[in-house]
């Protein structure tokens, strides 16, 4: 089973993923967690180019670098884990590319982004995607104590477009479970558990 978590920076993905992992661990299920971009040696190197540098990266280069990091993670880590029937939890997956590089950066039209996503994910799609929805203002409050990475330096207009991208996906993709992430950590966790497939 492949479960992805999505939403803008600071929406609570890491917090909820840890709680869900603990839940599966207690049930004796085998579960692995990877973050995007990253999760494998090559993908972590690409992550540092994308997030840590001050380089002026062209929107199409950015799109292809996120996609390159993804293909490497999927082939090296995700597909082997799925073959062993493990539960794979992804802290971001290709919906981030649609929302950030498609709607946010407006790099290329959505249909083209989705074609690239299918290539970069080697045809793998999530069974379930939890979309933790918060406003840009709430995101800013929650991440105020952290240093901004290259993506987070984009302003409010960019993030409003990213949110509209996630809203578009939430309407068009049946696997999307949208959760009001301004609720308490516990309430969100309970909603996530309620939406897991039985068994
Ligand atoms: P993400 O992985 O999506 O960037 P985090 O899980 O790291 O988000 O959460 C960002 C910050 O917000 C952390 O300081 C975390 O403790 C806090 N946080 C997470 N969930 C909630 C919530 N439901 N309500 C208030 N604060 C939260
Ligand atoms: P990270 O610190 O991992 O995420 P978060 O801030 O949500 O905890 O940063 C990843 C950043 O990269 C985040 O700003 C979203 C962005 N991103 C894209 O723009 N496109 C993508 O395809 C992915 C996977 C991430």
Give ligand 1 pocket residues (Cβ under 6 A): 9-15, 142, 181, 184-185, 188
Question: Where in the chain are the domains?
Answer: 2-194
- Nearest ligand to the CA of 43 is 2
Task: Give the pLDDT score at 123.
Answer: 96
| Binding site membership of 36 for ligand 2 (Cβ less than 6 Å) | yes
Task: Give the pLDDT score at 52.
Answer: 86
Distance 11 CA to ligand 1 centre (A): 6
- Ligand 2 atom nearest residue 11's Cα: 7
Q: What is the mean pLDDT of each run of 10 residues along the chain (199 residues)?
A: 97 98 98 97 96 90 98 98 98 98 96 98 98 97 91 92 98 98 98 92
- Nearest ligand to the CA of 19 is 1
Level-2 CATH architecture, domain 2-194 = 3-Layer(aba) Sandwich (3.40)
Query: Which residue among 7, 8, 12 has the greatest number of ligand 1 atoms within 8 angstroms of its CB, and so is best to mutate?
Result: 12
Query: Which residue among 10, 11, 100 has the greatest number of ligand 1 atoms within 8 angstroms of its CB, and so is best to mutate?
Result: 10
Distance 151 CA to ligand 1 centre (A): 18
Task: Give the pLDDT score at 111.
Answer: 97
Task: Give the pLDDT score at 53.
Answer: 73
Taking a C-beta distance cutoff of 8 angstroms, is the pair 13, 132 a contact?
A: yes
Taking a C-beta distance cutoff of 8 angstroms, is the pair 16, 131 a contact?
A: no
Q: Whose CA is nearest to atom 14 of ligand 2?
A: 151
Place of tokens 């299920």: 29
User: Which tokens sit at 80?
Assistant: 């082997």
Hey, CA dihedral for 3, 125, 29, 176, is it positive or negative? positive
- Ligand 1 atom nearest residue 187's Cα: 23
Distance 37 CA to ligand 2 centre (A): 7
* CA 188/CA 183 separation, integer angstroms: 6
Task: Give the pLDDT score at 136.
Answer: 96
| Binding site membership of 105 for ligand 2 (Cβ less than 6 Å) | no
Place of tokens 């997030």: 51
């Amino acid at each position: 089973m492949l479960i992805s978590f999505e939403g803008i920076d600071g929406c609570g993905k890491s917090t909820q993923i840890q709680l869900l992992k603990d839940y599966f661990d207690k049930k004796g299920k085998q579960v692995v967690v990877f973050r995007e971009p990253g999760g494998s040696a090559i993908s972590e190197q690409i992550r540092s180019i994308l997030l840590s540098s001050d380089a002026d990266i062209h929107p199409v280069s950015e799109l292809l670098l996120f996609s390159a990091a993804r293909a490497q993670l999927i082939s090296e880590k995700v597909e082997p884990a799925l073959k062993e029937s493990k539960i794979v939890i992804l802290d971001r997956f290709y919906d981030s590319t649609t929302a950030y590089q498609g709607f946010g950066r407006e790099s290329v039209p959505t249909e083209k982004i989705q074609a690239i996503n299918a290539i970069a994910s080697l045809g793998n799609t999530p069974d379930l995607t939890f979309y933790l929805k918060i406003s840009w203002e709430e995101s800013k409050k929650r991440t105020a104590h952290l240093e901004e990475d290259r993506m987070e330096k984009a302003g409010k207009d960019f993030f409003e477009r990213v949110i509209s991208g996630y809203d578009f996906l939430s309407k068009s993709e049946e696997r999307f479970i949208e959760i009001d992430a301004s609720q308490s950590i516990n309430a969100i966790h309970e909603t996530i558990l309620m939406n897991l497939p039985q068994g």
